[in-house]
């Protein structure tokens, strides 16, 4: 699009958002008020429902997906403008769903037309909530070591095994799974990608309590679960290609995940000024904390600039494929650095996430967020594995090689 056309589009988007996003949906997101899709979907307020329905009808729950599948059909430049205008107004995400972030983009590449028609629109409309069935008790970073098996029984597969760290599987309607369909093949070559209805007989879940006290994750069990052949994505024994496509999108989502999390009542600098105080010259009273916060903010700025560089390279068709590999590692690690700085500023108030005598509710939420965010550098591929990928693919280092 021309610059003039994009300018007109920006004006139209800004006007639409101003008319359709209620004031209550322009506030920092609260975990309890996130809008998740699914058969058991519950809206925290009438404003939240109106905001979701407006975005759903406009295609803005998946703005870059084709209109035929429930999206808005925006190109990369238009999608970026939409995100910028939503950020300017402080609009909350209209829908949270692993189907949006991971499965949908993979289905657009590898799904059959019937699968796209069946699942993509339902995802955009918030009708189905998805969980991810990748990791197993003996197959985490070594994902290709998975043991969950799908036996070919003619018109269906019979699935047996277990998955672990399946986020909110106890609230999900469907789960996308990697399963072994050929034992004799090399590890990746014998894996297939299946879509499984969580209402199927033989599927059960068991929540796993985290250090934050929440149970975001579950272990999911499959005991003689019948899965129709039409739910196979891609070719039999070639699910690893689908898995890699999906992981690309998961890592992009994880790199930007901090923007979707519940925000503290105060920004980092504001919180530090409140908790630590300022000196006579107006600077943060604790010089060490001041230095650490400055370093963090500089890194955040650098990461944002790298994101802009990746966008512009993609727009020009000159993408440096090494740069996106860095974003997941940098984005999640800096989210944890920010949490540590918040706790450092809080001092004694940051010692409890459940004791009312120690801290206010807002402070206790910050401590709980710090505990929950320990999972960010594990989910979507551990930081250690991601660094190995960066070393090999971005730096060209051989296994075991070190560079000073």
- Domain 3-96 sits in CATH at 1.10.540
pLDDT of res. 104: 94
Which residues fall within 8 angstroms of residue 8, CB to CB, at 6 or more apart? none
pLDDT of res. 153: 95
Q: Are β-strands 149-152 and 203-208 bridged in parallel, bridged antiparallel, or unpaired?
A: unpaired
pLDDT of res. 251: 57
Record: fold of 256-394: Butyryl-CoA Dehydrogenase, subunit A; domain 3 (1.20.140)
> Where are the chain's structural domains?
3-96, 130-237, 256-394
**For residue 135, what is the DSSP state?**
-
Distance CA 150, CA 205 (A): 19
Which residues fall within 8 angstroms of residue 348, CB to CB, at 6 or more apart? 358
Distance CA 258, CA 370 (A): 12
* Residue 169: other Cβ atoms inside 10 A: 25
pLDDT of res. 374: 85
pLDDT of res. 361: 79
Cα dihedral 86, 248, 64, 121, rounded to 10, equals: -110
Q: Do domains 3-96 and 256-394 have the same CATH topology?
A: no
pLDDT of res. 207: 93
Residue whose tokens read 């999911």: 220
Element (H, E) at 179: strand 174-180
CA 225-229-231 angle, to 5 degrees, is 80
pLDDT of res. 402: 59
The tens place of each residue's pLDDT in the chain, 404 residues long, gives: 788 899 999 999 999 999 999 999 998 878 788 899 899 988 999 999 999 999 999 999 999 999 999 999 999 899 999 999 999 999 999 999 999 988 999 999 999 999 999 999 999 999 999 999 999 998 877 888 899 999 999 999 999 999 999 989 999 999 999 999 998 767 788 999 999 999 999 999 999 987 877 778 899 999 999 999 999 999 999 999 998 888 776 655 554 555 555 566 578 888 888 888 888 888 888 999 999 999 999 999 998 898 888 878 877 778 787 787 788 888 889 989 999 999 998 888 888 888 888 778 788 888 888 888 888 887 767 888 888 888 887 788 875 555 55
> Which CATH architecture fits 130-237?
Beta Barrel (2.40)
């Amino acid at each position: 699009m021309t610059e003039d056309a994009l300018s007109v589009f920006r004006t139209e988007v800004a006007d639409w958002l101003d008319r359709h996003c209620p004031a209550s949906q322009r506030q920092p997101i609260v975990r309890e008020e996130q809008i998740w899709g699914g058969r058991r979907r519950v809206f925290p307020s009438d404003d939240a429902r109106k905001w979701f329905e407006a975005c759903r009808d406009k295609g803005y729950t998946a703005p870059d997906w084709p209109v035929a599948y429930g999206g808005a059909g925006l190109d990369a430049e238009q999608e970026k403008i939409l995100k910028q205008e939503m950020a300017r107004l402080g609009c909350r995400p209209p829908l949270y769903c692993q189907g949006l972030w991971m499965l949908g983009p993979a289905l657009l590449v590898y799904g059959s037309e019937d699968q796209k028609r069946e699942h993509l629109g339902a995802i955009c409309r918030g009708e189905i909530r998805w969980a991810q069935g990748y990791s197993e008790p003996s197959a985490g970073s070594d994902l290709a070591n998975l043991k969950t098996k799908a036996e070919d029984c003619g018109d269906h597969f019979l699935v047996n095994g277990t998955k672990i760290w399946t986020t909110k599987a106890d609230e999900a309607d469907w789960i996308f799974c990697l399963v072994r369909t050929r034992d004799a093949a090399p590890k990746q070559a014998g894996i297939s990608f299946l879509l499984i209805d969580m209402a199927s007989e033989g599927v059960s879940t068991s929540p796993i309590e985290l250090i934050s006290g929440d149970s975001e994750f579950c272990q999911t069990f499959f005991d003689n679960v019948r899965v129709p052949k039409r739910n196979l994505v891609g070719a039999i024994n070639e699910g690893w290609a689908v898995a890699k496509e999906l992981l690309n999108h998961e890592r992009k989502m994880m790199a930007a995940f901090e923007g979707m999390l519940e925000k503290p009542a105060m920004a980092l600098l504001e919180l530090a000024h409140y908790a630590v105080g300022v000196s006579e010259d107006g600077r943060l009273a604790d010089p060490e904390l001041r230095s650490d916060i400055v370093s963090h903010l500089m890194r955040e700025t650098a990461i944002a600039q790298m994101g802009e560089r990746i966008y512009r390279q993609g727009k020009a068709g000159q993408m440096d494929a090494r740069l996106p590999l860095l974003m997941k590692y940098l984005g999640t690690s800096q989210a944890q650095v920010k949490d540590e700085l918040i706790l450092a500023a809080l001092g004694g108030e940051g010692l409890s996430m459940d004791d009312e005598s120690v801290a206010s509710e807002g402070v206790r939420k910050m401590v709980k967020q710090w505990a929950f965010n320990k999972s960010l550098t594990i989910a979507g591929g551990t930081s250690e594995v991601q660094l190995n990928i960066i070393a090999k693919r971005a730096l060209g280092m051989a296994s075991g090689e070190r560079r000073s």
